[in-house]
């Protein structure tokens, strides 16, 4: 995602991906006004006492005041990352369709330090780098499969096979794009599960980017979320 025409606020993730905040209707103030919901007391600006209220709501699982906002993200990520992302049902997705449009020829190739082995026991796995030789051969193996798959895809499409069928050979390392719109409550749930030790490293990098964009727009809510041990309300 290099280049002069990348919009401001675009965060590069992995080798060919990004997270971009397309638009937002979000402020800490909206949490406070929704929690009090009173015409007489509707505020235009946050006051000192309101910080405590936001923390109280978060700790006591009063989740609905955190729903009166919206973040619209534009994301580019590998299919296997998107497959985890879309489990988050309380939000909205529109994905680039490969039924009729030509698939991307970009695939996720892990950096050498991200080629890892799984250690430990079921329920408590952790990951450690493999030795450099294996990292390199694994990267070549992955690259070869992806290149061959895309070449086959290309030949099938050129020969006249429908794109919706030709795409079936593409690996889940292939990049896809989607719009994702979500409110702060559902977003904190996402962050608690995906920017976490137990999440797969690749989606975690995206969740870190999402979190930084969230923290910019709702700093007090984000600080309260962190202070509450990253448990969503």
Among positions 45-74, residues that touch a copy of itself (CB under 8 A) are 56, 61, 64-65, 67-70, 72, 74
C-alpha angle with apex 203: 198 to 209, nearest 5 degrees? 110
**In the structure encoding, which two tokens stand for residue 49, read together?**
């006492």
Report, in Å, the least distance between residue 212 CB and a copy of itself: 20
**Which residues from 87-106 bind a copy of itself, rule CB under 8 A?**
87, 89-90, 92-96, 99-101
HEC per residue, 56-106: HHHHCCCCHHHHCCEEEEEEEEEHHHHHHHCCCCCCEEEECCCCCCCCCCC
Torsion angles phi and psi, residue 9, rounded to 5 = 85, 5
**Which residues from 111-150 bind a copy of itself, rule CB under 8 A?**
114-118, 122-123, 125, 127, 130, 134, 137-138, 141-142, 144-146, 148-149
Report, in Å, the least distance between residue 14 CB and a copy of itself: 11
Q: Which residue has the tokens 């606020």?
A: 9
Instruction: Kindly name the residue from 76, 167, 194, 205 that is annotated as catalytic.
Output: 194
**Which residues from 160-219 bind a copy of itself, rule CB under 8 A?**
160-165, 167-173, 177-179, 181, 183, 192-193, 200
């Amino acid at each position: 995602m290099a280049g002069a025409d990348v919009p401001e606020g675009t965060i590069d993730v992995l080798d060919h991906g990004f997270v971009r905040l397309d638009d937002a209707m979000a402020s800490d103030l909206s949490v406070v006004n929704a929690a009090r919901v009173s015409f007489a007391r509707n505020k235009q600006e946050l006051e000192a006492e309101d910080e405590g209220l936001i923390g109280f709501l978060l700790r006591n699982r009063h989740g609905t005041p955190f729903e009166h906002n919206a973040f619209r993200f534009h994301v580019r990520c590998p299919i296997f990352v998107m497959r985890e992302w879309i489990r988050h049902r309380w939000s909205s997705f529109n994905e680039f369709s490969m039924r009729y449009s030509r698939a991307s020829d970009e695939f996720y190739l892990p950096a050498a330090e991200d080629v890892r082995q799984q250690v430990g026991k079921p329920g408590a796995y952790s990951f450690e780098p493999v030795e450099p030789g294996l990292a390199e051969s694994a990267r070549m193996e992955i690259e070869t499969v992806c290149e061959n798959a895309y070449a086959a895809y290309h030949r099938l499409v050129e020969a006249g096979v429908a794109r919706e069928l030709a795409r079936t050979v593409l690996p889940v390392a292939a990049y896809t794009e989607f719009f994702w719109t979500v409110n702060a409550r559902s977003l904190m749930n996402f962050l608690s599960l995906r920017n976490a030790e137990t999440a797969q490293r690749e989606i975690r990098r995206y969740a870190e980017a999402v979190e930084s964009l969230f923290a910019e727009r709702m700093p007090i809510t984000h600080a309260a979320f962190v202070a509450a041990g990253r448990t969503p309300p």
